[in-house]
Amino acid sequence: LVSGSTSHLIPDSAVRAQEENYTTASFWARTFGTRINYAASTEGARLWYTKKPDSPADYHFFRGLVVLQGPNYAVAQYMRLWRAMLLHMKGFTVSAPVTPNCRTDSVVRNATMKVLLEGAAYWKPLESFDADTARLAMFSILVSDLLEPATQVDSPMKIFTTKAFHSGLWRCPFELGSLGATTWVLGKVAPRPKPLP
């Protein structure tokens, strides 16, 4: 299973949803949130150009790392991603979807993370899930990955996005780091476990 708090290629539909959610965001949300940049990096665009010199970089990149989680978390997550891509390229069936923000025991043990999960629903379309809900969803994806033929992808990085359950992270128009303090205050003062309908 792959954390949503890492970086991933994201589909065009997620970018369109970001644009729509930014357009409909409240003044309050625009004041506290910094607009997310999903464009190809300079280095990524340069590498793309060496492979396809006649077209601009045609991909979108979600930058999901949050400083709060620290370097050890990042290294551990990217080691997992790297290993999954290597196995996929060798022809193994790999089930590694992006998982939702989730109230697991290991996450809510950290008081700051617990409060942040309770404030996430203030930012359309973010949502945090209870552990049982996420467990069932991830099990369903695992079963489908084992029973269905492997999806052919043009980049091994796309194995994480094919059946992602990303809690709205990819559709949120704001950088997660810019929402941290406000999300914590809202989660502490007026917890909202689920988004408003």
pLDDT score, position 177: 86
- Tens-digit pLDDT profile for residues 33-69: 999 888 777 666 666 656 666 666 677 888 888 887 7
- Tens-digit pLDDT profile for residues 68-87: 778 898 899 999 999 999 99
- Tens-digit pLDDT profile for residues 116-164: 999 999 999 999 999 999 999 999 999 999 998 877 888 888 899 889 9
pLDDT score, position 61: 85
- Tens-digit pLDDT profile for residues 29-39: 999 999 988 87
pLDDT score, position 57: 64
Burial zone of 114 (CB within 10 Å; 0-12 exposed, 13-18 middle, 19+ buried): middle
- Tens-digit pLDDT profile for residues 94-121: 999 999 999 999 889 999 999 999 999 9
Mean predicted confidence (pLDDT) in 166-186: 92
pLDDT score, position 82: 93
> Does the predicted model carry a pTM greater than 0.75?
yes
Mean predicted confidence (pLDDT) in 11-37: 92
For residue 129, list its beta bridge partners: 102
pLDDT score, position 47: 66
